[in-house]
Amino acid sequence: MLVFGLNEPGNLRIMATTFKDGDPSYAGALGGIALGLKSYHIFELKDEIPAEVWTREMAFKELEVEDALIEQICTIMREIRGD
Amino acid sequence: MSILKGHKVAIFGERDDVAGSAVRSCVLAAGAEVVYETTSCFV
């Protein structure tokens, strides 16, 4: 599985789609090759991470990002996984 | 059921968002195995 730390929705969509269904632009080595890998963003996995580790590694980053962007990121990732 | 525990994970971080090293610390603490990690800069 893949875990992303990038927050730009367009890049996230392309990368997650590429690892699941193959390169949508057919420009790269994975054009037409569906690896079927599931992708997550680290913000989606907060409940899986021990609280003290999350606080040390992620709490400040989480504060920097607008709630609306986090929701958009999570929606994109769920959509691509087919959850 | 845990999403991360016992799974192999490839990490793609971003220099100005969440770096790969921070993601690595999180997923290792959750019981995943990191098989690849990188931090890119898309700016």
**pLDDT per residue over A52-67, tens digit each?**
999 999 999 999 999 9
Of B14, B22, B30, the CB nearest to A6: B14
Decide if A6 and B27 are in contact by the 8 Å CB cutoff: no
Number of domains present in the structure of chain A: 1
Q: What ipTM does the predicted assembly reach?
A: 0.95
**Is the Cβ–Cβ distance between B11 and A43 less than 8 Å?**
no
**pLDDT per residue over B1-28, tens digit each?**
789 999 999 999 999 999 999 999 999 9
Q: Which of A6, A35, A49, A56 to mutate to test the interface with B (most CBs of B within 10 A)?
A: A6
**pLDDT per residue over A23-49, tens digit each?**
999 988 999 999 999 999 999 999 999
Of B5, B8, B23, the CB nearest to A5: B23
Enumerate residues 20 to 79 of chain A having a beta carbon within 8 A of any beta carbon in chain B.
40, 42, 45, 48-50, 53-54, 56-58, 61, 65
Would you tell me the crossing angle of helices A67-81 and A9-21 to the nearest 10 degrees? 20
Between CA A27 and CA A63 the distance in angstroms is 36
Between CA A83 and CA A75 the distance in angstroms is 10
